[in-house]
Structures are given as C-alpha cells and as structure tokens.
C-alpha cells in the first residue's frame, strides 16, 4: 500500500493532480493508528487481530469491486476510501499486536530468538511483497488483492482457532490455554488418568 500508493491510486482512477493528496491521506491514516495504539492495552489481542484481518478482507473485496466498476465519477473515490479503510484496519490490530504477541506467548528463554525470527520473517515478507506486487498488478489487474484477501482470511481463521487470548495472563496461563486449544484429546486423557489416580488414592 505504501510503496506503490501512487500506482494504486492511479489504477483506481484518481486524477493525476490529486494523487499527492491521496498519498498524504495514507500517511494520515498511519498517524491516526499510531496515536490510538494505546487501545492495545484495553482490548483483547485476539479481538484486535481477528477484527483487523476480517476488516481488511472486507475492504479488499470492496476495493476490487470498485476497481472493476469504474463507470461513475465517484467510484475512484470509493476505491480511495477503501485503501484508507484497509490501512486503518491494519493499524488498529495486526500492526501493533504482531509486535508484542511473540513477547507474550514465549517464555523468557525463548523470547529473544522468537522476536528475532518474527522480525526477520516480517521484513523478508515485506521485501517479497514489495518486489512481487507490480507483477501482481500486471497479471491480475483489478483482482490484484485476491492474494491479500486469502492471506487475511487465513490469518483471521488461524487466530480464531489456534491462538489464545494473552491480555492480562501469565505465561503459564497462556501455555495452559494453548494446550486446551491444540491438544484437546491429550488433555482429556490426562484429566481422565488423573481422576482415576485420585480414585485409587482415595481407596
């Protein structure tokens, strides 16, 4: 969005002399999300990530529809609004939570390595997307955001099914929640064997 903002706005049908104001708008959206980042400490991490990726999925679809229906004078401005909404949706959740989540789900020993790996993956993927995006626009045209839509939906579903809430919890509580979510059968067997051991002890 940021690296190719002028190309995206031009593709969306924004007049050339107004593209500079549109780019200022993307920066303003980023500034707004930076100023409101304190909400991370009040709202659950899972809600922010799932909500952010879900909204990004919606705006990606609306943006692609708007691109394919450039028949009225106001449609390019709908496309521009979708881009702003996409950036805001990313800023209210995934942008802030992705940085702090590795520090909450890993213990003290593993935390430095986890943060290093997450940071390396983040910048490697940013580089990859930056290099591939022009080819996506050239190859897919108005549907260039289909891969982003798929990634956003997949991320929202992954968080919904596999990641626990980390806000206000200790590492032990988060580990227990991980085990409950991802090893339900094993946890059931352990609780069953524990109850049997308790009964035998009582006898």
What tens digit of pLDDT does each residue of 175-200 get? Answer: 787 777 666 655 555 555 544 544 44
Same domain, 35 and 109: yes
Q: Whose structure tokens read 């496309």?
A: 79
Same domain, 177 and 113: no
What are the start-end ranges of the H helices in 69-183?
75-92, 94-105, 111-140, 146-162, 171-182
* Distance separating alpha carbons of residues 144 and 60, to the nearest angstrom: 9
Beta-carbon contacts of 77 under 8 Å, excluding residues fewer than 6 positions away, are: 14
Same domain, 37 and 125: yes
Same domain, 137 and 193: no
Q: Is pLDDT of 39 > 70?
A: no
Domains: count for the chain: 2
Which CA distances in Å does 44 have to 39, 92, 163, 179?
9, 12, 12, 19
Same domain, 61 and 15: yes
Q: Which among 140, 42, 139 has a CA at the least distance from the CA of 92?
A: 42
Q: What range does the domain containing 163 cover?
A: 5-168
At 112, list the tokens: 């430095």
Same domain, 32 and 100: yes
> pLDDT, tens digit, for every residue of 96-137?
788 777 787 887 888 888 888 888 988 898 889 888 888 887
pLDDT for 91: 82
Q: Give the domain CATH number at 118.
A: 1.20.1250.20
* Distance separating alpha carbons of residues 11 and 133, to the nearest angstrom: 13
Q: What is the mean pLDDT of the chain?
A: 77
**Which has more confidence, 131 or 23?**
131
Same domain, 127 and 177: no
């Amino acid at each position: 969005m940021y690296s190719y903002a002028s190309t995206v706005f031009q593709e969306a049908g924004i007049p050339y002399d107004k593209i500079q104001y549109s780019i200022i708008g993307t920066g303003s959206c980023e500034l707004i999300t930076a100023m409101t980042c304190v909400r991370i400490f009040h709202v659950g991490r899972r809600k922010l990530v799932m909500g952010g990726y879900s909204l990004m999925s919606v705006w990606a679809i609306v943006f692609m529809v708007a691109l394919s229906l450039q028949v009225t004078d106001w449609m390019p401005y709908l496309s521009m609004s979708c881009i702003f909404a996409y950036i805001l949706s990313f800023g209210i959740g995934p942008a802030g939570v992705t940085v702090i989540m590795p520090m909450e789900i890993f213990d003290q020993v593993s935390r430095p390595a986890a943060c290093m790996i997450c940071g390396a993956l983040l910048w490697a993927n940013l580089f990859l997307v930056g290099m591939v995006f022009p080819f996506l626009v050239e190859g897919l045209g108005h549907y260039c955001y289909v891969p982003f839509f798929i990634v956003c939906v997949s991320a929202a579903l992954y968080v919904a099914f596999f990641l626990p809430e980390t806000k206000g919890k200790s590492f032990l509580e988060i580990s227990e929640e991980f085990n409950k979510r991802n090893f339900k059968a094993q946890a059931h067997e352990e609780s069953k064997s524990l109850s049997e051991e308790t009964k035998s002890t009582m006898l």
